[in-house]
Amino acid sequence: MKDVLLTLTAGNARTLSGHAIMGNGWNGEMAQTMADEKELFWELLADRQKKLFNFLHRALNFSEDSQDVYQEVVIRAWKYFPSFDRRQKFSTWIFTIAHNEIKKYFNQRKKEHKVIPLELLGTDPPAPVGDPVVALIFGAARQLPLRQREVFFLFYYNKFSIAEIAAISGLRQGNVKFILSSGRETVRRALEANHEK
């Protein structure tokens, strides 16, 4: 995944300040700048959208709802992109939105089903993978609570650093390390159990 640290002197940000200073045909040029901004958003997203989609798919236990959550994340990010702080990394920013949308999704689900009916339990589809080792890792990750599962995939799949995961999830770095260690041990136990068989 390419990560571009945007600064105010780069690319479209420069266009934005340039147009604002010149002030000729301000409305038209601002509209053009806003269009450029949106264009930049799609360019930045293009490099990360597959990883984002797969992260959501995994964090939501391969549920089809992850498609809706993905849409929400992209739309929300698109809407708020003009206020995105260019000193931040785009990937950290959009995954923070993803983290919030996952939380929102589970809260809504909790509200809808104050008591989760039996038929809804365990209805998440199994990991659709053929490789038994990959399936085993997914199986182990699935046993983790939501927050731990998110941290697990952010680290092992999306390759974020511990500091970045802390920023995305709002956890302390110490907690992130603890969660990762617990996730690692869960996978280790699953692998050892499989090896013994």
Partner 1 sequence: MKNDELDRFISQNLEKYELEIPDIVQEQVRRRVAAALERPLRAAWKRSALWGALLAAAILVFVIALPQFFPPVPAARKISQIRTEFSIPEKNIKIIWVQRADFQMPEPNG
- Give the residue, chosen from 31, 43, 50, 104, that forms a contact with partner 1 under the rule CB under 8 A: 50
Contacts 24+ apart (CB under 8 A), 133-142: 133/191, 136/187, 136/190, 136/191, 136/194, 137/187, 137/190, 137/191, 138/58, 138/62, 139/190, 140/183, 140/186, 140/187, 140/189, 140/190, 141/58, 141/183, 141/186, 141/187, 142/61
| Position 1 contacts partner 1 (CB under 8 A) | no
- Give the residue, chosen from 29, 37, 157, 182, that forms a contact with partner 1 under the rule CB under 8 A: 157
Tokens of 53: 């989609």
- Each residue 63-102 as x (binds partner 1 by CB under 8 A) or -, in order, gives ----x--xx--xx--xx-----------------------
| Position 59 contacts partner 1 (CB under 8 A) | no
Burial 136-172 (b: 16+ CB within 10 A, else e): bbbbbbeebeebbbbbbbbbbebebebebbbbbbebe
Q: How many other C-beta atoms can be found within 10 angstroms of the C-beta atom of residue 40? A: 20
- Each residue 116-155 as x (binds partner 1 by CB under 8 A) or -, in order, gives -----------x-x-x-xx--xx--------------x--
In angstroms, give the least distance from the CB of 124 to partner 1. Answer: 15
Tokens of 143: 């046993």
| Position 17 contacts partner 1 (CB under 8 A) | no
Tokens of 172: 């302390």
- Give the residue, chosen from 109, 113, 172, 188, that forms a contact with partner 1 under the rule CB under 8 A: 188
| Position 104 contacts partner 1 (CB under 8 A) | no
In angstroms, give the least distance from the CB of 117 to partner 1. Answer: 28
In angstroms, give the least distance from the CB of 8 to partner 1. Answer: 26
Interface positions with partner 1 (CB under 8 A): 49-50, 53-54, 57, 67, 70-71, 74-75, 78-79, 127, 129, 131, 133-134, 137-138, 153, 156-157, 159, 184, 187-188, 191
